[in-house]
Amino acid sequence: MPRKSKGPRLYLRRRKGRPSIWVILDSGQPEISTGCGELDRAGAEKTLADYLTAKHKPEWRTGEPHEVSIADVLAYYGKEKAINHAHPELVGYHMTPLLEFFGERMCDWLDASACRQYWAARVAGKVGRRKVQATTARRELETLQAALRFCRKEKKLSVDIDLTFPEKAEARQRWLTRSEAAALIGGALGFTATAYDVKTRQPVKWGRMFRPSYHVARFILIGLYTATRHEAILAMRWKANTKGGWFDLPGGVMYRRGQGQKETNKRRPAVPIAENLVPHLQRWRGLTMNGPVEYHGRLIQKERKGFERARDLAGLDDYVTPHVLKHTYITWAMQRGIPIWEVAGFTGTSEKTIRDVYGHHHPDAMPNAKKRFRGHSLGKK
Same-domain pairing of 212 and 273: yes
pLDDT in tens, 121-171: 999 999 888 888 888 899 999 999 999 999 999 999 999 999 998 887 676
- Where residue 93 sits, what CATH number does that domain have? 1.10.150
Same-domain pairing of 165 and 203: no
Sign of CA dihedral 145, 258, 80, 34: negative
pLDDT at site 326: 94
The separation between the first and the last C-alpha atoms of the chain, rounded to the nearest angstrom, is: 84
Look at the chain and report how many structural domains it folds into: 2
Same-domain pairing of 213 and 346: yes
pLDDT at site 380: 64
Same-domain pairing of 182 and 219: yes
pLDDT at site 320: 92
In the β-sheet with 246-248, what is the strand arrangement from edge to edge? Answer: 246-248, 253-255, 271-272
Q: Which of 179, 307, 175, 328 is nearest to 234 (CA)?
A: 307
Concatenated DSSP letters for 207-268?
EE-S---HHHHHHHHHHHHH---HHHHHT-BSS--SSS-EEETTTTEEE-S-TTPPP-SS--
Residue 8 lies in a domain: no
Distance CA 344, CA 355 (A): 9
Same-domain pairing of 187 and 312: yes
Same-domain pairing of 139 and 261: no
Helix, coil or strand: residue 40: coil
- Where residue 290 sits, what CATH number does that domain have? 1.10.443.10
Q: Which domain holds residue 148?
A: 56-169
Distance CA 191, CA 313 (A): 7
Same-domain pairing of 235 and 153: no
pLDDT in tens, 351-368: 898 888 888 887 777 777
Residue 372 lies in a domain: no
**Which portions of the chain are predicted below pLDDT 70?**
1-7, 53, 55-57, 86, 169, 171, 265, 370, 372-381
Distance CA 294, CA 216 (A): 9
Same-domain pairing of 163 and 187: no
